[in-house]
A and B are shown apart, each in its own frame.
Chain A
Amino acid sequence: MAVSQTINRALRTLPAWTIYIVGALYAVWQFWLALNQVGPYLVEPINVLERAYGEVGLILMVVGLMVTPLRQWAGVNLIKFRRAIGVTAFFFVLAHFLVFAILDVQSLERVWTEIVKRPYVTVGMASFLMLIPLAVTSNNLSVRKMGAASWRKMHKLTYPAAVLGAIHYLWLVKGFQLEPIIYLVVILGLLSLRMKWNRARVAA
């Protein structure tokens, strides 16, 4: 456990708000690259920016889901970062939605049509809507007001939100592509780990 101790010690001095700062800087940096059509944004910045924000949102959801298993199985404690990771994930998904609505689809009417008519958009939208109450209640006041038990229960919405996010990705690509499948498998793996662990605890 020497490695996990070292990691825990190294992270002890790092404040959680670093996640917000890094997240915001990264989002702004990507937007600036897209605006100036640099690097991957050279030719079609809208689509690439839309995907970049969406993918970071999905990655952060996966990282958020890793916090508990990492503590249980590897002794690495990232719990103080979890709220920041989750809220930053929400902001990236929000940015992803805004690029989709404003820059890509470009009209409210068409946004609605897309949500209703395209299953992969419906699924992505459902995931986004689930994240909204989670982001709004990601503060100590809400935990106190709601009570820890019901707060925790509501925040289990992260599970379906992550699964729907991965399905959204899998559904929008053409042909047999590996990346979205990897996300879905990792998310389902992390969730199944949790189920086993819960059952084990109940048995004990």
Chain B
Amino acid sequence: MAYRWTNDLTQADITPKAAYLNRRQILAGTIGLGAIGLAGRANAQELEANTLEEITSYNNFYEFGTGKSDPAQNAHQLVTSPWSIKVDGMVDNPGDYALDDLLAGLSVEDRLYRFRCVEAWSMVIPWNGIELADILNKVGVQSGAKYVAFETVVQPENMIGVQRRVLDFPYVEGLRLDEAMHPLTIMATGLYDEPLANQNGAPIRLVVPWKYGFKSIKSIVRITLTDKEPPISWNVANPREYGFYSNVNPEVDHPRWSQASERRIGGGLFAARQDTLMFNGYPEVASLYDGMDLSVEF
């Protein structure tokens, strides 16, 4: 590993609980004063975390329905304990790991990340997680491995969306090995120092902050090291619209909508749009894609 990512945003940047609980009233007040359109045109560095309520009640988790509030309504049925993760493919220590065993001895870090959905909305989320590289190093990646594949749990009787076959479940995702080993890439187990809510992908999910949200696969039960590019669910469903890389890129539009701007969740009915940043504002990953035409390999 060339370096470990150091968080230039600290706990101090995270809004205190009392303040984020009150933010809606403050915003409502601002709007009342006629500041419509001025609020929300924020400097990219001024990150204010979304409230826990926002993060846990507006989700895409199609296994629990396609509506944004469906996961919050239905995900309580997910059984997250006991939880084990199958690690297989080109690894030195394959096996079915109990979650605690897989993470034992690894450090959980606070990461305040932007989160940009492919649907052109975004949030800022104070994750708690472990660098994926630490986990991969623990299981031992073999030299020929080039990709990491992930799989979401399927509990058909507990997941109403699975029965409706909106996508071809289980949901699968994948990263190139260098993306997976990048220090920005984490496996989140919590946010706001509380365990992940089921609708956020409990008990453990991927977070790749420079890619569209659907890459950050939830409720992971399998990690496979492979030498071939693994299939990913949205690409299988619609290859014209969703590529393997799916890096946040304001210059490459989704065929059905623009990706040039986004709406930060939490601004209310008069929230202004803001410009989307290349790699979602994480330029340190640009070198991973040197020499690639990102409009072709989108």
Contact = CB atoms under 8 A, between A and B. Distances in A.
Interface in A161-178: 171-178
Interface in A89-130: 103-106, 110, 113-114, 117-120
Interface string B237-261: 1000000000000000100111000
Given A49-B269, A106-B272, A42 B256 contact: no
Interface string B24-62: 100000000000000000000000000001100110001
Contacts of A104: 263
A175 B256 CA distance: 13
A43 B71 CA distance: 14
B68 interface: yes
Contacts of B86: none
A162 B69 CA distance: 28
A11 B192 CA distance: 56
B57 A114 contact: no
State which size class the interface on A falls in: 20 to 34
Contact of B166 (A47, A105, A171, A177): A177
A40 B69 contact: yes
Q: Secondary structure at chain A's binding surface: helix, strand, loop or mixed?
A: helix
Nearest to B27: A37
Contacts of B165: 176
Nearest to B58: A43
A35 interface: yes
Nearest to B60: A174
B164 interface: yes
Contacts of B170: none
Nearest to A39: B69
Given A40-B69, A43-B57, A173-B66, A118 B269 contact: no
A113 B269 contact: no
B53 A118 contact: no
Chain B interface mostly: loop
B267 to A, nearest CB: 9
A177 B60 CA distance: 14
Contacts of A103: 269-270
Contacts of A114: 257-258
Contacts of B24: 37
A113 B253 CA distance: 12
B6 to A, nearest CB: 31
B256 A171 contact: yes
Interface string B251-285: 00100111000010110111111000000000000
Contacts of B69: 40, 42
B66 A175 contact: yes
Contact of A119 (B66, B121, B256, B273): B256
A44 B58 contact: yes
A34 interface: yes
Contacts of B68: 43-44, 48
Contact of B121 (A42, A44, A171): A44
Interface string B197-210: 00000000000000
A45 interface: yes
The winner among A40, A106, A114 for most chain B CB atoms within 10 A is A106
Nearest to A33: B269
B160 interface: no
A27 interface: no
Nearest to B166: A175
Contacts of A172: 256
Nearest to A173: B66
A46 interface: yes
Interface string A63-74: 000000000000
A37 B119 CA distance: 20
16 contacts: A37-B268, A41-B269, A42-B53, A43-B54, A43-B57, A43-B266, A44-B121, A44-B263, A46-B271, A49-B269, A118-B257, A120-B256, A174-B119, A175-B166, A175-B237, A176-B167
Interface of B: 24, 53-54, 57-58, 62, 66, 68-69, 119, 121, 164-167, 237, 253, 256-258, 263, 265-266, 268-273
Interface of A: 34-35, 37, 40-49, 103-106, 110, 113-114, 117-120, 171-178
